[in-house]
Amino acid sequence: MILRFYLLGPAIVTWKHTPLNIARRQVRKLLYLLATQESAVPLERLHYLFWSDKPESFCRNNLSHLLTHARRSLPNKDILTVTNSIAMLDPSQTWSDVGEFKNLVKNEARIENLPSLVKAYDLYRGPYLDGVQLPGGRELEYVVEQERYTLERQYLNGLIKLIEIETQRGKLENALEYAYKYLEIDNLSEEVHRQLIRLHAWMGNQDRAIRQYKLCEEILAREIQATPSKKTQAMYQEALSGNLSEYRVEKKPPEYKTSKVREIPISQRLSHLDQLQKNFDNFFLGVGGVVLLSGEIGVGKNNLIQESLLRNQNNSLILHAHCDPGSESISFLPLIDIATDVSNYQDKIRFLNPDSTHEIAQIAASISLTTSKWTEASEITKIDQKEYFFKLISRFFEKLLSASNGVILCLEDLEWADENTLDLILHLSSRFSHRKFLFIGSLCCKRDKKIQDFEHHIQLIRSNVTLINVSGYGIHEIHNLVKYWIGSFNGSQAFSEKLLQICGGNPYYLHEIVKWIAESGLSAKELDENPNIPIPNTISKTIEARLGRLEPVEREVLEYASLLGRNFRFEELHSCSDLPLTHILDTLDNLVNRHLLVVHSTNYQFRHELIRFFILNSMNPARRQAMEQNFAHEPDVNLVATILE
């Protein structure tokens, strides 16, 4: 006999084709969670999800009682397996519609995959755990919300695939059914409305195609006070004229996508997302603003921005660019790239009239032509260039605001932006302070004077400025991370302290290490007995890329510093190197700004022992031996060990 969990829609658990009554809500919550997972769940993870704010002894006692009640509620106690470190449901005695659904939709949209997609479509009765009240920690609520969102998107993506496949097969009635099912969940999808208009027209139902457009028009006006896009209007005109007589499968437009944010603890990330969400909520009400996220490289600032954008996709125009080291030498480069990259905004602008579209294209063309013309025109002064681009790019954004449902401008890594770009952002933020204009920027080098000035001035010109400092992990978060991925063992606390020492709390480094350890199968005993911490190759490549952007003198200073130890004084560095005093001081400031070093009064320290370790091991052996002759001690490199994946 199989214990079956139906969790897509209202939750139902059956045994011998009969609903199983599970009286305790906490037990139901635990079993639903275990039935959703594809593998065993560490007990420490259950502690964290159910009682993240409670002491470990409290968590152990409560989980022990909960597991006992869970066993008693099951028709066969052997279904639930519990050891000292994990809990799981026996896969040979249980079945879950969630697991089945995920397996069915994971393949690409191919006609031969049609049976699997249809089966997945039949399994999806509604949102994950629809209507189920699961009181508990916020972390558990977040896990449920994320699972619900992920499954719903997979279901909708599957419907899009089914529409395309059935259209290719000529089964237009089936395609219509799937399109209407899609709109039951997301009735704002103009893509699917266009699919229906086209399908009805192809089937000779011109009146229904026209009614579908009118319905789309009504929904957009009611829900978001908008009108159909030019693409949808064009589809409507073709349907009216009877020109949709041939099959033409429309390509799905690109979506704004993001990688899963995993660098920041759940509770901390939710706090930052809540702060960002307040700004988006105000923006949708017509109030713009400025959001600046600061923190070191790898802490997850840009992923927070991307996840917020993904959560708040609507008909507003999202303009997005990265600043990089090359940006500093070219005035206005990120904003020029945005303006001249027509494909980045033209398809996303909603509700434009033809005159506005043409005018915006003309401005973009002027920016592009002026940029190429002035590249070789040395007689044009920098003041003339700045004044001209200020006017032209400001006019560009003015027209976008007038023609769209608001503009969200995102610039990542502002420390690499040139001063003219920063000045123009200040200007735009001031000029559009009462318009639907939201600026979101990320930065790490707050010690840089131009960034300090920018942050100061933007707070002077705007009252609604949100500053979010995205920090790394402390020892408590690291210990929870170790327990979550690896489990508890005798030396887990000491192991966590080692991780803090070598990673400095950097979430990216920490997650890469503990996930690699968890996936590599290293035992707790091996971790407890080994004085070294294994470092995956992904981190080595990341550090190598960061150090590869350094100037030769910066690399040389780091090499001398790495031989002095994790902590060193300026005087020590000066006495053992042949570099001029001013070069050392300027270089140390640059390395602090790059988040490679931190400064405490007259002492300097490597922000991450990983950086120091990598530098020591990448030095030429002969060069290292020559440099070490100036030092009284051998560098300690026994804390970490390189591991090639």
CATH architecture for the domain at 3-140: Orthogonal Bundle (1.10)
**What per-residue confidence (pLDDT) applies to 196?**
92
Q: CATH 3.40.50 spans which residues of the chain?
A: 266-437+450-469
CB-side exposure of 326: number of CA atoms within 13 Å?
4
Cβ-Cβ contacts under 8 Å for 328 (sequence gap 6 or more): 416, 417, 418
**C-alpha to C-alpha distances, 5 to 95, 249, 531, nearest whole angstrom:** 6, 38, 45
**C-alpha to C-alpha distances, 495 to 42, 47, 299, 472, 525, nearest whole angstrom:** 18, 20, 21, 17, 12
Return the number of other C-beta atoms located less than 10 Å from residue 247's C-beta. 11
DSSP symbols for 569-613? EHHHHHHH--S-HHHHHHHHHHHHHTTSEEEETTEEEES-HHHHH
Splitting the chain (645 residues) into consecutive groups of 10 residues, what average pLDDT does each group show?
A: 89 88 88 87 84 82 91 91 89 91 70 75 89 69 83 90 87 89 90 91 85 90 84 84 55 38 49 84 87 82 81 77 70 82 58 62 75 51 74 88 85 86 91 90 74 86 85 82 78 85 82 80 70 78 77 85 83 78 82 81 83 83 75 56 52
Residue linked to tokens 């700045």: 386
Which parts of 254-300 fold into alpha helices (H)? 266-284
**Contact of 230 with 194, CB cutoff 8 Å:** no
Which H helix or E strand runs over 173? helix 172-185
Which parts of 341-463 fold into alpha helices (H)? 354-375, 382-403, 419-431, 449-461
Cα separation, 236 vs 209, whole angstroms: 8
**C-alpha to C-alpha distances, 172 to 113, 165, 203, 231, 460, nearest whole angstrom:** 18, 10, 8, 22, 59
Return the number of other C-beta atoms located less than 10 Å from residue 371's C-beta. 19
- To 5 degrees, how large is the angle CA 641–CA 642–CA 645? 135
**What per-residue confidence (pLDDT) applies to 3?**
92
3 state DSSP class of 50: helix
State the helix-helix crossing angle for 138-169 and 25-36, rounded to 10 degrees: 50
Correct CATH for 541-642 of 3.90.700.10, 1.10.3720.10, 1.10.10.10, 1.10.8.60: 1.10.10.10
**What per-residue confidence (pLDDT) applies to 425?**
92
Cβ-Cβ contacts under 8 Å for 291 (sequence gap 6 or more): 275, 276, 279, 438, 439, 440, 441, 465, 466, 468
**Contact of 465 with 486, CB cutoff 8 Å:** no
**What per-residue confidence (pLDDT) applies to 260?**
37
Q: Which of 603, 506, 595 is nearest to 550 (CA)?
A: 595
266-437+450-469 — its CATH code?
A: 3.40.50
**Contact of 267 with 480, CB cutoff 8 Å:** no
Amino acid present at 230: K
Q: Enter the tokens of residue 319.
A: 């303009």
Instruction: Please classify residue 264 by burial: count the beta carbons closer than 10 Å to its beta carbon, then call 0-12 exposed, 13-18 middle and 19+ buried.
Output: buried
Cβ-Cβ contacts under 8 Å for 596 (sequence gap 6 or more): 546, 558, 606, 607, 611
Return the number of other C-beta atoms located less than 10 Å from residue 457's C-beta. 16
Torsion angle of alpha carbons 332, 336, 337, 342, nearest 10°?
170
Q: CATH 1.10.10.10 spans which residues of the chain?
A: 3-140, 541-642
Cα separation, 487 vs 47, whole angstroms: 11
Cβ-Cβ contacts under 8 Å for 95 (sequence gap 6 or more): 2, 3, 4, 5
Specify the pairing of strand 597-600 against strand 603-606.
antiparallel
**What per-residue confidence (pLDDT) applies to 89?**
92
Which H helix or E strand runs over 210? helix 206-224
Return the number of other C-beta atoms located less than 10 Å from residue 20's C-beta. 16
Cα separation, 592 vs 594, whole angstroms: 5
